[in-house]
Structure 1
Amino acid sequence: MIETTKAIVLNTIKYGDTSLITTCYTQKSGVKTYMLRGVLKAKKAKIKSAYFQPLMQLNLTANHNNKGNLNSIRDLEVSNFYNAIYTDIKKQTIALFLAEILYYSIREEEQNSTLFQYLESSFLWLDAHDNISNFHLLFLLNLTKYLGFYPETGNVENSYFDLLEGRFTKHHNYNTVTGDNLVQFKKLLGINFDVIHQVNFNAENRQAVLSILVQYYELHLEGFKKPKSLEILKSVFS
């Protein structure tokens, strides 16, 4: 089936000497993986390898096959140009990290317009703003709304947060967050990106909250892998 859709690049790997395999999250059909034959040697071709950087936003026309099969791209263009994500080291590191997170988190080959809109608008916000040191933390927390495990906030005054149950509790176990880490984690609840710069995390707080969020994902998503870029992210924001 030939389909034209917006898409966000999640992962790209080299295949042989001249080709790439890229995985994108599409607006109309969810996760799709494409074989880009000869793209590394065709200097004058319209489809260029530069289009497949992490989180690149594209309009593409593709031949979408049955689920699980490699697809092919007929035509594409950049839908939203970034001004800073690929030139600013902090934004570039965040983009690499979040692309990995999304690659390991989203598996559905079906339309989810609200999730796509969240991704699209979030990355445009990241590109356009300067105070972004806490962006990835709030992005990860709010992404759980679309993945189905956003924290229950009914008993937010309780002393523990149970990562496995996704709720605040009075009871401690090996999956609970407590103390200052819990205080820092709560700062992200119920806010949006426009006030994220007002959250007063120091480097230690930021690392602690990031570790909590990654563990939260590991507990709730089958097959989720800790991103290889996690250590790079921690180093850049330490």
Structure 2
Amino acid sequence: MVLTTRAIVLSAIKYSEADLIVSCFTEQSGLKSYLLRGVLKSKKGKLKASQFQPLTQLELVANHRNKGSLERIQEAKVSHPYRSLHTHVVKSGLVLFLSEILRNSIQEEEPNKELFQYLEQSLHWLDHHDSIANFHILFLIKLSAYLGFYPDASSIDLHYFNLAEGNFQKNAFGVYSEKGPQIATFKAFFGIDFDALPQIKLTKKERAETLDLVLRYYQLHIQGYKQPKSLLVLNQLY
């Protein structure tokens, strides 16, 4: 079936000498993987390797056979050219980290238009703003809502956060209960939007500890979770 759909590139892996295997989250069909033959050597083809950088937003004309195999892209064009995401040093490092997280987190081949819209809007905000030091933490917390495991904040005034249960508790319960400064920092990200991020002032150590808490939460709630390889680079940038 040939269809036109918006898509966000999650990864592009070299296959043989001139091919790419590209993973995209599409608006119409969810997660899809495509084989792009000869794209690394072709200068006259319709598809260019530069179109498939991480988190690039595309409009695709693709042939989806939906048989569990690699699909084919007939045409692709960038639907939202970024101003800074692939040229700003810090943002490009952040893009690599977020694309790894999304590749590990989005696993279903089914449409999720609310999630797609969230990703579009979030990336647009990141592209157009400079106060981004805490963006990835809020992005991941909000993303968990679309993935089905957003923390229960109804008792946010309590001192402990249970990573396994995903809620705040009065007392420690089990090995996954956390208490301390990182929990207080974690709480600051609830009930805000991206425009409020500059109000959260964190040291490098506080930011790293809060991110570690969020990633451990993801590890407990995503089957087959893999620690992102770009985390070390991200911590150095921030």
Q: What TM-score does the superposition give when structure 2 sets the normalisation length?
A: 0.98
Match of 2:83 in 1: 83
**In 2: Cα distance, 1:157 partner to 1:189 partner:** 12
**In 1: Cα distance, 2:12 partner to 2:220 partner:** 26
Summarize deviations over 1:43-80 as a string: whole Å, max 9, x none.
Answer: 12120000110100000000012252100000010000
**In 2: Cα distance, 1:125 partner to 1:167 partner:** 29
**In 2: Cα distance, 1:129 partner to 1:137 partner:** 16
**In 1: Cα distance, 2:168 partner to 2:65 partner:** 44
Match of 2:223 in 1: 222
Residue aligned with 2:5, SS: strand
RMSD between aligned residues:
0.8
**In 1: Cα distance, 2:67 partner to 2:109 partner:** 7
Match of 1:190 in 2: 191
**In 1: Cα distance, 2:91 partner to 2:166 partner:** 29
Go from structure 1 to structure 2 and tell me whether the alpha carbon gap of 1:120 and 1:223 turns closer, same or farther (over 3 Å shift).
same
Match of 1:73 in 2: 73
Match of 1:4 in 2: 4
Match of 2:37 in 1: 37
Indicate whether 1:233 and 2:234 are aligned.
Answer: yes
**In 2: Cα distance, 1:106 partner to 1:46 partner:** 28
Indicate whether 1:168 and 2:168 are aligned.
Answer: yes
- TM-superposed deviation, 1:204: 0.9
Specify the code of the residue in structure 1 equivalent to 2:190. L
* 4+ residue segments displaced more than 6 Å: none
Identity score, percent: 48
Residue aligned with 1:70, SS: coil
Match of 2:204 in 1: 203
**In 2: Cα distance, 1:133 partner to 1:181 partner:** 16
Q: Does the 8 Å contact 1:67/1:109 carry over to 2?
A: no
55-64 or 163-172, which deviates more? 163-172
- TM-superposed deviation, 1:224: 1.1
Specify the code of the residue in structure 2 equivalent to 1:39. V
- TM-superposed deviation, 1:86: 0.7
Q: Does the 8 Å contact 1:23/1:33 carry over to 2?
A: yes
Specify the code of the residue in structure 2 equivalent to 1:116. F
Match of 1:120 in 2: 120
Summarize deviations over 1:66-100 as a string: whole Å, max 9, x none.
Answer: 25210000001000000101111111011000000
**In 1: Cα distance, 2:221 partner to 2:204 partner:** 26
Q: How many residues align?
A: 237
Residue aligned with 2:125, SS: helix
- TM-superposed deviation, 1:132: 0.5
Residue aligned with 2:79, SS: strand
Q: Does the 8 Å contact 1:21/1:36 carry over to 2?
A: yes
- TM-superposed deviation, 1:233: 0.4
**In 1: Cα distance, 2:3 partner to 2:134 partner:** 36
Match of 2:181 in 1: 180
**In 1: Cα distance, 2:234 partner to 2:130 partner:** 17
- Unpaired runs of 5+ residues, structure 1, are none
Match of 2:213 in 1: 212
Summarize deviations over 1:120-174 as a string: whole Å, max 9, x none.
Answer: 0100110000000110010000000100111101111111000000000122132
